[in-house]
Structure 1
Amino acid sequence: MDQENKVLEVARRTIRIEAQAITDLVDGIDSAFAKAVLHIHHSKGRVIITGIGKSAIIAQKIVATMNSTGTPAIFMHAADAIHGDLGIVQDNDVVICISKSGNTPEIKVLVPLIKNFNNKLIAITSHKDSFLGLEADYVLHAPIKEEACPNGLAPTTSTTAQLVIGDALSVSLLELKGFTDKDFAKYHPGGALGKKLYLRVQGIIDGNKKPEVSASTSLRVVIVNISENMLGMTVVTENNNAIGIITDGDLRRMLSSGKNIDDLVASDIMSSNPKTITADSMAVQARELMEEKNISQLIAVDDKGYAGVVHIHDLIREGIV
């Protein structure tokens, strides 16, 4: 077998092993899981998530997911906890401890300390009968048949299972809270994701030029107006209301028709009843409308009439497309 085929075989085997492990988790979602979720939901404190080694890295990801979906969470490294960081844990906090074996030295030291504080302890472990499993108030079982690592040593399948359990916890809590896209936007104001959730058309057109001609404007002036504003179009207005639109395509069709340019005005070639969107609409709605109508620009309107133009290039620049 050549090296390329061997790589493909190993990669596919790894995915199959981990996929099966995730599927097997479904049967382990029991009343203990539901009770753990409900306890967190009704708790007045935060969720403290701890672990050691690779499990600590998974803990950090679960913390990030919970924080972004409305469940306040803090990461606490199990080794650091027994050297001072245990002060992170407050009276009403719920502690989630992640450990494949449930028997690592740091966990054995940490768990009794948490229990002494009377904080509820939730375990995510592959071994229910481990020290952690027996001491926890709720055990979220993440059993695995084998690690994807051929030596059975590197945490692979086990950390994948832990991560999926964490996602199941986070999404369950999200549902209980009635967490909406507006709530999500509060925690994701930056990047393309945030813009999809909060950026409005007004925020785009504020930085754009505002091409505009009247119905009686000569075609030569219309062409200059389109060229100067660099949006590939101009809007025909009357009393500040958009009554038509002229695009580069309209100009090309007019020129191919053989008509005398000196005899034409804007109203002769404009497309009436142009597609519009309110300036306070979400930018993502502008994208959806452009896709639906198969067009590349929309006229934005507000209570005063014609407000500006949003172009497909604006949405691409903002990461909305």
Structure 2
Amino acid sequence: MIHNIDIKKNAVETLELEAAAIQQLTKTIDKDFVDVVNQILNLQGRVIVTGIGKSAIIAQKMVATLNSTGTPAIFMHAADAIHGDLGIIQPADLIIALSKSGNTPEIKVLVPFLKQTGNTLVAIVGNLNSFLATQADYILNTTVEREACPNNLAPTTSTTAQLAMGDALAVALQTCRQFSDRDFAKYHPGGALGKQLYLRVADLADNNGKPTLSPDANIREVIITITKHRLGATAVMHADEIVGIITDGDIRRMLEKYEDLTGLTAGDIMTRAPKTIARQELAVEALHRMRQDNIAQLLVVEDNRYQGIIHLQDLLKEGII
């Protein structure tokens, strides 16, 4: 082990090499790239992405990004393809093959079979004179000057270039499709990001109950109601109208302000004109308002009628925060 190496300098040099490689890619975006985007936009089938070794790993990430941004895609390992997985390919599909050299034995065996299917073949390749490049219908050039590996062997800069080219393709497709945050949420319903984009106030508040008191309720009733519902608050209602809210904080302020609690009512200690939110608002909007007003609860309404309470803890449990 070499102990006198400047680790920080080495890491910076690696990142600089990879950043420079990505910067160079901007010069390779040409008519082929535009044509590939248009081909995929008009595709009746799916995008089949294939590769071998480290390129196969990048291909899998590319497939995941395409699928999550509105372009149906399937990964096909180049080695498995020649042992039966070619059946994945359907007549309306487009094939993207990733390879740094474009001359690996698996690619050389696979490409002739791919050409027989008649599907459009796109090469993301780092060698424009390679077998893959000469056989492809379109080329996305990911040539790099050298790998970040000190021996110029381990795929590092080259796979970074492949990854970036795949992202450029996916984002171009996403933009052309006008794929919105709402569309994105449909493909990410289980994660925190998806929840921010689709989870509604009603989805959380409807499980909380509707703690309610009249303005003339005594303090004992106030404390029992707040304790029972475990929301740290209760709405104060006059007929069907919200006239206030009482929170744990109001109770503490009451104890500081009054020596004698005899005769005090909900109306005496409530906060008037409480903050509300419509039940169809996104839950993340409730979080924004709580942060803005430095509060932990919002009264939920629909057509100005009281529906319940949403609490900061509801948002924490769902991972919105």
Range into which the TM-score falls when normalised by the shorter chain? over 0.9
| Deviation at residue 75 of structure 1 after TM alignment | 0.6
- Check whether the contact 1:233–1:245 (CA below 8 A) recurs between aligned residues: yes
Q: Secondary structure at the match of 1:76?
A: strand
How far apart in 2 are the matches of 1:3 and 1:275?
Answer: 61
The alignment covers a number of residue pairs equal to 321
| Deviation at residue 197 of structure 1 after TM alignment | 2.0
Q: Deviations over 1:72-106 (max 9, x none)?
A: 10111111111221111111111000000111111
Superposed, 1:238-253 pairs within 5 Å as 238-253=238-253
- Check whether the contact 1:276–1:300 (CA below 8 A) recurs between aligned residues: yes
Change (3 A) 1:27 1:226: same
How far apart in 1 are the matches of 2:241 and 2:54?
Answer: 62
Paired position in structure 2 for 1:78: 78
* Greater fraction helix: 1
- Check whether the contact 1:214–1:237 (CA below 8 A) recurs between aligned residues: yes
Q: Deviations over 1:101-134 (max 9, x none)?
A: 1111111121122122211111111112211112
Paired position in structure 1 for 2:19: 19
Superposed, 1:1-321 pairs within 5 Å as 3=3, 6-303=6-303, 305-321=305-321
| Deviation at residue 304 of structure 1 after TM alignment | 7.8
| Deviation at residue 2 of structure 1 after TM alignment | 8.8
- Check whether the contact 1:220–1:261 (CA below 8 A) recurs between aligned residues: no
Q: Secondary structure at the match of 1:298?
A: strand
What amino acid is aligned across from residue 74 of structure 1 in structure 2? I
| Deviation at residue 239 of structure 1 after TM alignment | 2.4
Q: Deviations over 1:184-236 (max 9, x none)?
A: 22211213222222211111112224322111111232122222322222111
- Check whether the contact 1:240–1:304 (CA below 8 A) recurs between aligned residues: no
How far apart in 1 are the matches of 2:5 and 2:275?
Answer: 54
How far apart in 2 are the matches of 1:142 and 1:191?
Answer: 32
How far apart in 2 are the matches of 1:4 and 1:38?
Answer: 52
How far apart in 2 are the matches of 1:153 and 1:168?
Answer: 25
How far apart in 2 are the matches of 1:151 and 1:177?
Answer: 42
- Check whether the contact 1:96–1:123 (CA below 8 A) recurs between aligned residues: yes
> Identity percentage over the alignment?
55
What amino acid is aligned across from residue 71 of structure 2 in structure 1? T
- Which range moves more in the overlay, 22-31 or 96-105? 22-31
How far apart in 1 are the matches of 2:86 and 2:187?
Answer: 27
For structure 2, list consecutive stretches of 5 or more residues without a partner in the other structure.
Answer: none
| Deviation at residue 292 of structure 1 after TM alignment | 2.3
Q: TM-score, normalised by structure 1?
A: 0.94
Q: Deviations over 1:167-192 (max 9, x none)?
A: 11111111111111222222112132
- Check whether the contact 1:46–1:93 (CA below 8 A) recurs between aligned residues: yes
| Deviation at residue 56 of structure 1 after TM alignment | 0.4
| Deviation at residue 4 of structure 1 after TM alignment | 9.2
- Which range moves more in the overlay, 1-10 or 128-137? 1-10
- Check whether the contact 1:277–1:300 (CA below 8 A) recurs between aligned residues: yes
- Check whether the contact 1:46–1:73 (CA below 8 A) recurs between aligned residues: yes
How far apart in 2 are the matches of 1:131 and 1:13?
Answer: 32
| Deviation at residue 21 of structure 1 after TM alignment | 1.4
Q: Deviations over 1:119-170 (max 9, x none)?
A: 1111111112211112111111112122111111111111111111111111
Q: Secondary structure at the match of 1:301?
A: strand
How far apart in 2 are the matches of 1:141 and 1:259?
Answer: 79
How far apart in 1 are the matches of 2:17 and 2:295?
Answer: 46
| Deviation at residue 31 of structure 1 after TM alignment | 1.6
What amino acid is aligned across from residue 222 of structure 1 in structure 2? V
| Deviation at residue 10 of structure 1 after TM alignment | 2.6
Q: Secondary structure at the match of 1:285?
A: helix
| Deviation at residue 259 of structure 1 after TM alignment | 4.9
How far apart in 2 are the matches of 1:4 and 1:194?
Answer: 47
How far apart in 2 are the matches of 1:313 and 1:10?
Answer: 45
How far apart in 1 are the matches of 2:276 and 2:51?
Answer: 54
How far apart in 1 are the matches of 2:276 and 2:2?
Answer: 59
| Deviation at residue 316 of structure 1 after TM alignment | 0.9
Q: TM-score, normalised by structure 2?
A: 0.94
For structure 1, list consecutive stretches of 5 or more residues without a partner in the other structure.
Answer: none
